[in-house]
Amino acid sequence: MRQRFPREAGFVCFDRFYYKNDDIAPSYHSIALGDVEVLDFERWTMSRLRLKSVDTSQHIAYMTGPTFAGPKHPNPNRPAGQSSGFFPEHRYLIENVREELKKPGQWYLDRCTDPPACFSSDGTWTLTYLAKPSENPNQQAVIVPQVPQLMVAEGLQFVTFRGLTFSHDNWLPAPEGLGDMQGGPKVPGALSFHDSSHIVFERDIVDHIQAWGIDFFGASAGNQILDSAIYDIGYGAIRVGRMIRRDDSDDVVPQYTTVDDNVIEGGGRIIPSGIGTGVWVGNSHHNTISHNEIYDFYNGAIRVGYKLNISDGVGNAHDNLVSFNRLWDLGQGVTSDMGGIYLSSSDTKGNQVLNNVIHDVTHDPGPGGYGGNGLYFDQGASNIVAKNNLVYRVSQAGLFINFAPPIDGDTPQNDLVTNNIFAFPKKWLLQRGGDNRLTFTFTHNLVLWDQGIMQSQPGRWSCFGDCPSRFLLDYNLYWNPKGEKPQFITTEPNRPLEPEWHDWKAWQALGEDTHSVVADPRFANPIYPGDDFTLLQNSAASQVGFVTFDPRQAGRTDPVLKPPPVPAAFPLQLTDRKDF
């Protein structure tokens, strides 16, 4: 179902919306108890709210509580709440409706003892399950979770959990619902550790979790999650650190955490928000995230940093290593604005993204949907080294480096993107969010594309007469199997809709890609389902100084634990892999 709202400029109320036609009924069973939920898909989050009442004359649905209102926009002439709320033509779902209990495999817990009025949850509740043809409910095990968190510790040290299984928490949104924001700060960890150090999870299973899986926050060091399986997760799998506060210092946040050789599958089954909820690193430093396999998520896989912009200080997310991870089947058309690997680390140093494989990242293709990116360095994330990564089949950009010009002006970022392979971006290879100096250097990369363009359009590609001082591209190889040569654009400040197009020679005349070539890299079999980006002999890649790396080294080195497939939780909107 799609929403409508009369004010395009911004929202006044965040606890109601106009609905179309007769999409919502005022007489759902148990609506008075707040049991009927409304799932509101926003810009990049999804709020899970409770339906309070329905005004059929005005076509207004009222919630028991609001979505997250959002911070004030840096432009005082624009209202707050532009990332959260009820957006026109965005999707929403209604869940836990007894009247829709019709298909085998569905169940409903009726908390009402006085139907049909249904104003009290006192007394005996009734569970109804519609069995599948092969099932006998009288012989099936039924698990009823009892506690919102499975383990909570503070000040714990030097404890190892090995070979254990942690399952079935019972976290639920509060009576006012959950107006979500990035990282789910109101959502706890099923296994939560505050100011705890040298905690080791090794060859454990964490599954069927409503909230976050494992959560470390506060002053802690030396924690490890190794060779484990985390799957069927309501929000995210692993969270290290929280949102930055102005008074945080390096010694009071998590540090030197290792997340290695894990399989993480099926995240976001309750709340699909968060940008990088496979492994989410907030205000935390000197962490290693390596050799993990993360897939079947409704948003991005790995995030580092929760400090947006630079002008108001620098965060704690520095000296983090993200390496040799294999990340795929992300977004799946459920949410928008994501990256396989995402950093919002501000003007820190020492963050490296090395030898990862990212593929099949797909954003919501519907109204308002955007942003299925491979590598995504957001809001001033600076001094990042991205090297030896393979990124292919993404629905928007292979690389997106974003910036907030109204906030930070002309601050350099100095991101280095070198010796990577970018293949089959759906829309464009590069996206840039600001006109600041020294945004990024893009060198020694191999680019294979058969649709879309090289740069985001519209986009911010102002050069001010000296393109290489703003963004430098050189020693790259470009190849289109159809024989097309790449074209590039520059723009004037505040006029991104009027680009100037440059053919290959004109682009090089601007000082860009002066040592780059247009030639066949000779990949072994890059077309789906081959996905083999091995370079054959006599590859032209050597002409641009590309150093061969083996993408097969990404992923787990010891894949002992093998989780089962996790059923989908939302309607998927997938792109045929053959269409890339």
Identity at 351, one-letter amino acid code: N
Amino acid at 366: G
Of 176, 31, 187, 33, the closest CA to residue 94 belongs to 31
Q: What is the pLDDT of residues 165-176, one digit of tens each?
A: 999 999 999 999
- Confidence at 81, pLDDT banded by 50, 70, 90: very low
Better-scored residue on pLDDT, 13 or 226: 226
| Tens-digit pLDDT profile for residues 181-229 | 888 999 999 999 999 999 999 999 999 999 999 999 999 999 999 999 9
Question: Which of 258, 319, 318 has the alpha carbon at shortest distance from 292?
Answer: 258
Instruction: State the pLDDT confidence band at 34, using cuts at 50, 70 and 90.
Output: very high
ω into residue 458 within 30 of 0, thus cis?
yes
Hey, is 137 helix, strand or coil?
Answer: helix
Radius of gyration (C-alpha) of the chain in whole angstroms:
24
Q: Please report which helix (H) or strand (E) contains residue 401, including its range.
A: strand 397-401
Nearest CA among 66, 61, 69 for reference residue 2: 61
How far, in Å, CA of 117 to CA of 129, rounded? 22
Measured distance CA(334)–CA(570) in Å, rounded = 7
Single-letter amino acid code for the residue at 444 = H
| Percent of residues, the chain, with pLDDT higher than 90 | 81
Is residue 322 a contact partner of residue 357, using CB atoms and an 8 Å limit? no
- What sign for the dihedral angle of Cα 132, 135, 137, 141? negative
Listed residue (48, 37, 40, 50) closest to 83, CA to CA? 40
**Residue 3: predicted pLDDT:** 67
pLDDT tens, 378-418? 999 999 999 999 999 999 999 999 998 777 778 899 999 99
Q: Is the pLDDT of residue 455 over 90?
A: yes
pLDDT of residue 8: 45
* pLDDT on residue 76: 47
Residue 79's pLDDT is 47
- C-alpha separations of 54 from 35, 57, 121, 135 in Å: 14, 9, 21, 38
Q: Is the pLDDT of residue 75 over 50?
A: no
pLDDT mean across residues, the chain: 93
pLDDT, tens digit, 9 for 90 and up, residues 466-517: 999 999 999 999 999 999 999 999 998 878 788 999 999 999 999 999 999 9
For residue 80, pLDDT over 80 is answered with: no
* DSSP run (H or E) holding 393: strand 390-394
Yes or no: say if 197 and 239 are a contact pair by the CB < 8 Å rule. Answer: no
pLDDT of residue 122: 86
Over residues 316-330, the mean pLDDT reads 97
Give the DSSP letter of residue 324.
S
Residue 51 near residue 31 (C-beta atoms within 8 A)? yes
pLDDT of residue 248: 80
Give percent of the chain with pLDDT exceeding 70: 95
Q: What are phi and psi of 408, to 5 degrees?
A: -110, -5
What's the pLDDT band for 77 if we cut at 50, 70, 90? very low
User: By mean pLDDT, which of 109-118, 284-293, 361-370, 521-530 is the weakest?
Assistant: 109-118
What is the separation, in whole angstroms, between the first and last Cα of the chain? 28
Q: Could you read off the pLDDT of 131-153 as tens digits, one per residue?
A: 999 899 888 888 999 999 999 99
Provide mean pLDDT across the span 22-42: 94
Containing H/E element for 509? helix 504-509
Question: Kindly report the CA angle at 68 between 65 and 71, in degrees rounded to 5?
Answer: 145
Q: What is the pLDDT of residue 6?
A: 43
Please, which pLDDT band fits residue 112 given cuts at 50, 70 and 90? Answer: confident
Q: Cis peptide before 529, with omega less than 30 degrees from 0?
A: yes
Reported confidence tier of residue 578, pLDDT bands at 50, 70, 90? confident
If you average pLDDT over residues 31-54, what whole number do you get? 95
- pLDDT digit string, tens, across residues 218-267: 999 999 999 999 999 999 999 999 876 666 889 999 999 999 999 999 99
Tokens for 173, please give them.
């949104």
Q: Can you give the pLDDT at residue 408?
A: 74
CB contact at 8 A, 445 and 422: yes
For 444, the token pair is 């020694």
Cβ atoms of residues 509 and 527 within 8 Å: no
CB 92 within 8 A of CB 1: yes
